[in-house]
Amino acid sequence: MTKNNKDNINIFLHKNELSDEEFKDIHFLIKYENTDSILSKLGKDLIRDYLNIAVKSDNIFLFSCKIEDQIIGYTLLAKRSEYLIDEFIDLKFKILLRLFKKVKFFLLLNILISYFKLDLLFIKKKNKKLIKQSLNLNLLAIKKQYQSQGIGKLFSQKVLEKIYQNYFKFDFISVEAPNINSLNFYVNKLNFKLIGRKIRFFKFFFVLVKDKT
């Protein structure tokens, strides 16, 4: 890999539909780079349904970055965190039924904890309000062989600029980091500030916020 890969990336906002090839690339990133996410635990058909809803929504943004014709990274953001539930309400019962059939009880429990906002017990009231009013960076992944080249930082910055300038004005961005590596990325590369932790079985997710600058 060359050191100037970050100078060759192209950034795309996906709207209306994903091609089969685009879905294949993003599905790979979800399954192998977002392994702590609930979405990565779902079957291929449900992930496709989820992304189809995302690209048709006015409240969800699905961006990818490409080098030549290959997607090497993606990110999914929501204007507000509640849209991550409201926009996908039609999938809720399909997801719950699938997880129940596969005996994924702890995953089901995590979904219910999130749905009823019990995961925010250790977040201060003022920070809960801040999270609720923030643009939510829900998922972000860069293919392994392209990591540590500055691509994730550049991609994230460009996406936030594009959203603010063209689609949605926001004052703050919130994100959850499932592990120390992602926490360090958001703090050290993108200047997020740690404001608390969310409950998950059997771990905590770090919760971070930054302003739009």
Alpha-carbon distance 4 to 151, whole Å?
Answer: 10
Q: Which two tokens stand for residue 18?
A: 């994903």
**18: CATH:** 3.40.630.30
Q: Say what the pLDDT of residue 101 is.
A: 65
Asked if 13 and 62 touch (Cβ cutoff 8 Å), the reply is: yes
Range(s) of the domain holding residue 43: 5-211
Q: Say what the pLDDT of residue 110 is.
A: 67
Asked if 57 and 51 touch (Cβ cutoff 8 Å), the reply is: no
Average pLDDT, the chain: 90
Q: Say what the pLDDT of residue 157 is.
A: 97
Please determine, for residue 1, whether its predicted confidence score (pLDDT) is greater than 50.
Answer: no
Q: Could you read off the pLDDT of 99-158 as tens digits, one per residue?
A: 676 646 666 676 677 777 767 777 898 999 999 999 999 999 999 999 999 999 999 999
Q: Could you read off the pLDDT of 48-64 as tens digits, one per residue?
A: 999 999 999 999 999 99
Contacts of 177 (CB under 8 A, 6+ apart): 183, 185, 186, 205, 206, 207, 208
Q: Say what the pLDDT of residue 127 is.
A: 92
Q: Say what the pLDDT of residue 104 is.
A: 67
**If you search the block for the tokens 């905590």, which residue do you land on?**
204
pLDDT band at 191 (very low <50, low <70, confident <90, very high): very high
**Percentage of the chain modeled with pLDDT above 90:** 67
Give the CA radius of gyration of the chain.
17
Q: Say what the pLDDT of residue 121 is.
A: 74
- Counted domains in the chain: 1
**Most confident option among 6-10, 28-32, 115-119, 199-203:** 28-32
Q: Could you read off the pLDDT of 60-91 as tens digits, one per residue?
A: 999 999 998 899 999 999 999 999 988 988 88
Say whether pTM exceeds 0.85: yes
Q: Which two tokens stand for residue 106?
A: 């702890």
pLDDT band at 94 (very low <50, low <70, confident <90, very high): confident
Answer positive or negative: Cα dihedral of 205, 206, 209, 210. negative
